[in-house]
Amino acid sequence: GGGGAIPYLHSRSARTRAAKHFTKCIDPDSSPGTGVFRSPSCTFEFSLDRSALCHSTLVFFQAITLNVAINSHNQSLFTIVVSNQFVELKGCAFKKFEKNNLFQMSCSDIRERFHQFILLLVVILRNMTDVLWDFAHLHQLVFPLAIVCCSEVLVDWIKHAFITKFNSISPTVYKEYTLILARDVADSRHHLPAADHCDLVSRRMGFIPLPLAVLLIRVVCNSVTSPSYFSPALLVIIFLCVLSFKILLGIVLLGMSCSQLNFYQEDLSDITSPLRPARSGLPSTPFIAHQSNRLNNPSLQQLHTIDRYTMCSNRIV
């Protein structure tokens, strides 16, 4: 699909293969030995128009629906929005699930919660803009927003409890899921990764960040008015702050991933060599990235091949 085409076209692996296998677009007016190489980014505009625009519009409609449901005097629409989350229990709770299917569902739930957080943030921004940022109005939004968040968590908790109980899946399987995601983050920091940065995690979860970013930027631009003292220097400062936060968040996620992989290697060493003393401290990132390739548990190796839309047991959850 278009959502996966955008990160792929700009990945290192795509650029490397493109440099070797691109065909020349020969100019009829040029000499036979000349030509122009087309970059993968030539199709970026087509992919953006086909996928990101439609997806952003769909997310925008979802935000409008949630905003209308929260602000409506008639609570019927809000009740429908909340109760619609419980439909997941009917479709998942009493069906046969394997560990791979549960992994896909867990990744989908993670993406869905972040998606819900962005929609709620959009609702807060639009409501605060309507009241000219009077924070006394904020307490009126607390109860409906809390209902939406709590119902999402409750549904996911009941759903996973039923699935693990009736399919005899050990709760320790979630530790394996954590290791797979931690390995994806560590592998994306290799010297020559297969994809750039968090693209591995995004494909694993089926997460497409571009439509949410387009919606959020558009809403922020309409919600935050420019003061009289606003200057390009202030815009640069805001950009640097956001960039610093992104870098800091990446460092924190990488550190947490390294910790998870390090603990796994320590537990594995303790099992294979009970008399070997436990290592103290965290090794360097290259060590962790190298050790992440040694997750030789067959169960982990099988999970490593599962993406969000990989066919498992003749279906995709």
For the stretch 39-58, pLDDT in tens is 455 555 555 566 778 888 89
Evaluate whether 15 touches 41 at the Cβ level (below 8 Å).
Answer: no
Percentage of residues of the chain with pLDDT beyond 90: 25
Give the tokens for residue 44.
């970026």
Sign of the dihedral defined by the CA atoms of residues 183, 184, 190, 193, in that order:
positive
Name the one residue in this structure whose structure tokens are 């009126």.
140
Give the tokens for residue 46.
């087509």
Report CA 15 to chain centroid distance, whole Å. 23
The residue among 125, 122, 119 whose CA lies nearest residue 225 is 125
Task: Please check the confidence at residue 255 and state whether its pLDDT lies above 80.
Answer: yes
> Which pLDDT tens digit goes with each residue over 172-208?
999 999 999 998 888 877 655 555 555 778 888 888 8
Give the tokens for residue 237.
């400062």
pTM confidence score: 0.76
Residue 311 pLDDT level (bands cut at 50, 70, 90): confident
> Which pLDDT tens digit goes with each residue over 52-108?
788 888 999 999 999 998 888 878 888 888 888 888 887 777 788 888 889 999 999
84 burial level (CB within 10 Å; 0-12, 13-18, 19+): exposed
Give the tokens for residue 81.
């929005």
Task: Please check the confidence at residue 141 and state whether its pLDDT lies above 70.
Answer: yes
Mean pLDDT of 123-136: 88
Evaluate whether 78 touches 72 at the Cβ level (below 8 Å).
Answer: yes
Number of alpha carbons in the 13 Å side-chain half-sphere of residue 59: 27
Report CA 96 to chain centroid distance, whole Å. 26
The pLDDT of residue 178: 92
Q: How far apart are CA 109 and CA 94, in angstroms?
A: 18
More confident residue, 92 or 164: 164
Q: Residue 224 gets which letter from DSSP? A: S
Q: How far apart are CA 302 and CA 312, in angstroms?
A: 11
Neighbouring CB atoms inside 10 A of 65's CB total: 14
The pLDDT of residue 122: 93
Q: Residue 36 gets which letter from DSSP? A: E
258 burial level (CB within 10 Å; 0-12, 13-18, 19+): buried
Q: How far apart are CA 158 and CA 91, in angstroms?
A: 13
The residue among 162, 151, 169, 171 whose CA lies nearest residue 89 is 162
